Chains A and B, each alone.
Chain A
Amino acid sequence: MECIITVELGTNAVRVFAFDLMGNTLGSTKGSYPTFHSDPDYSEQDPEQIFITMLYVLKNFITEKIQPKKYKVHSICFLASMHSVLAIDANGVPLGNVITWADNRGKKEAQELKNSGIGKKLYDATGTPIHPMSPLVKIAWLKKNDSERFDKTYKFLALKSYIVQQLTGEYVIDYSLASATGMLNIHTLKWEANALDYAGITQEKLPDLSSVFTTPGKLRKEYQNSLGLSSSTRIIIGSSDGCMATLGAGIWSEDKATITIEDSGAVRVVGKQVLRDDQQRFFNYLLTENHYVSGGPTNNGGVIFEWFAKQFGDFEKAFDVEYEMENLIHEASNVSVGSEGLLFLPYLLGERAPLWNPNARGCYFGLNIKHERKHFIRATIEGMLYEIYSIGKILGEHRTISGLSVNGSFATIPFCTQLIADLYDRPVSTIKNSNTCGLGAFLLTATDMGIYANLEEAAKSVVLEETYNPRKQDHNIYMQYFEIFQRLSTKLEDEFEQIAKLQ
Chain B
Amino acid sequence: MNQFFLHHKQSKELEDFPHILEFAVRKNTSIQLNSLGATTSESIRIYYVLEGKFEWVINDHQHILYPGDLAMILPGKTFQGKKDFLDIGTLFWIQIQLEKTEDNKRMVLGNWSGLSGRESAAIWRVLQLNSAPVLVKLTEALNILQSIQNELHQQQIGYTTRVNHLITELLILIARQSTHQNNLRRDFPQTFMKLEQALRQNLSHQWTVEEMAGMVGLGSTAFTEKVKNYTGFSPLNYLINIRISEAIKLLRKEEENVTSIALETGFYSSQHFSTTFKKLTGYTPGEFRKRNSSKK
Contacts and interface: CB of A to CB of B under 8 A. Distances in A.
B283 A222 contact: yes
A55 B280 contact: yes
Interface stretch (B28-36, B87-95, B157-165, B224-232): B224-232
A212 B245 CA distance: 29
Contacts of A220: 282
A92 B292 contact: yes
A221 B287 CA distance: 13
Interface string A67-93: 000000000000000000000010111
A277 interface: no
B282 A225 contact: yes
Contacts of B294: 89, 91, 93
A291 B57 CA distance: 63
B185 A31 contact: no
Interface stretch (A313-321, A378-386, A441-449): A313-321
Interface string B195-226: 01000000000000000000001100010001
Contacts of B196: 34
Contacts of A91: 292-296
B187 interface: yes
B106 interface: no
Contacts of A313: 186
Contacts of B260: none
A319 B185 contact: yes
B188 interface: yes
A30 interface: yes
Q: Which secondary structure dominates where chain B touches chain A? A: helix
A53 B185 contact: no
B186 A319 contact: yes
A30 B245 contact: no
B242 interface: yes
A59 B186 CA distance: 33
Contacts of A92: 292
B282 A226 contact: yes
A310 B184 CA distance: 9
A231 to B, nearest CB: 13
A51 B288 CA distance: 14
A318 B218 contact: yes
Contact of A49 (B192, B241, B292): B241
A503 B214 CA distance: 34
A48 interface: yes
A48 B247 CA distance: 9
B225 to A, nearest CB: 10
A93 B253 CA distance: 9
Interface string A447-476: 000000000000000000000000000000
Contact of A31 (B192, B231, B280, B281): B231
A244 B164 CA distance: 63
B250 to A, nearest CB: 10
Interface string A1-42: 000000000001100000000000000011110100000000
Given A91-B294, A91-B296, A319-B188, A56 B233 contact: yes
Contacts of A48: 245-246, 248-249
A32 B241 contact: no
Contacts of B237: 56
B9 interface: no
Nearest to A227: B282
Contacts of A12: 189
B97 interface: no
Interface in A136-189: none
Given A48-B248, A92-B292, A321-B188, A57 B193 contact: no
A446 B255 CA distance: 46
Of A13, A31, A48, A221, the most chain B CB neighbours within 10 A belong to A48
B245 A49 contact: yes
A29 B232 contact: yes
Nearest to B282: A222
A56 B281 CA distance: 9
Given A59-B280, A319-B191, 8 more contacts: A12-B189, A29-B232, A34-B192, A52-B241, A52-B245, A226-B282, A313-B186, A318-B185
Please give me the 10 A-B residue pairs with the lowest Cβ-Cβ distance, nearest first.
Answer: A222-B282, A226-B282, A49-B245, A318-B185, A31-B232, A319-B188, A48-B245, A32-B231, A30-B232, A310-B186
19 contacts: A12-B189, A30-B232, A32-B232, A34-B196, A48-B245, A48-B248, A56-B237, A93-B252, A93-B294, A222-B283, A222-B287, A226-B278, A227-B282, A313-B186, A318-B222, A319-B186, A319-B187, A321-B187, A321-B188
